[in-house]
Amino acid sequence: MPNRGFWLPEALSNREEGEPNPHLRSGRASLGKGCHRLAQEATATARSAQKASLVAGLACFFPEATPVRIPVQLARVLEGDDASAARFSESTVIEFGTPREVLFSSSTPLEFADAVRLRTSDGSLDVEASVVAVQYHPGKTVVAARFLKEVPNWIVKS
């Protein structure tokens, strides 16, 4: 038997069905002192989710990708140039990695098959890679680059 349009549990140990609900006053739900009802419900997306989604969105296409945060310097290697002579144009952060690829965002204009050099400040990682995927966003390019040579143990999974 319905109870004035409100759902009640099957068993009521402290009151009987049909007894007035103490939380309702004059047909309106009591929210307590200092609480107010919203006129409309609304949702909003978190800002951090939007920011993190740029590189994470590309990482979805790399099943082995592991989140990392490795600050590096980036140099675009022009065709015919010696990679060791490449000028580092920006600092960026490797945000995801696989045993063969790195994923990062860049303000340097990069395209598919471009050659890049990535180097950490301590020199523990100094590699050449070829761009294998790009996603363009306003002011940023999200890049996946594959190492040209094997880089053993650069990323260790636990």
Domain boundary assignment for the chain = 47-147
> One-letter amino acid identity for 109?
P
* CATH no. for 47-147: 2.40.10.220
Quick check: 57 pLDDT over 80? yes
> One-letter amino acid identity for 108?
T
Quick check: 62 pLDDT over 90? yes
Measured in degrees and rounded to the nearest 5, phi and psi for residue 102 equal -125, 145
Q: How confident is the model over 87-107, as pLDDT tens digits?
A: 778 999 999 999 999 999 999
Q: Tell me the pTM.
A: 0.64
Q: How confident is the model over 123-146, as pLDDT tens digits?
A: 899 999 999 999 999 989 999 999
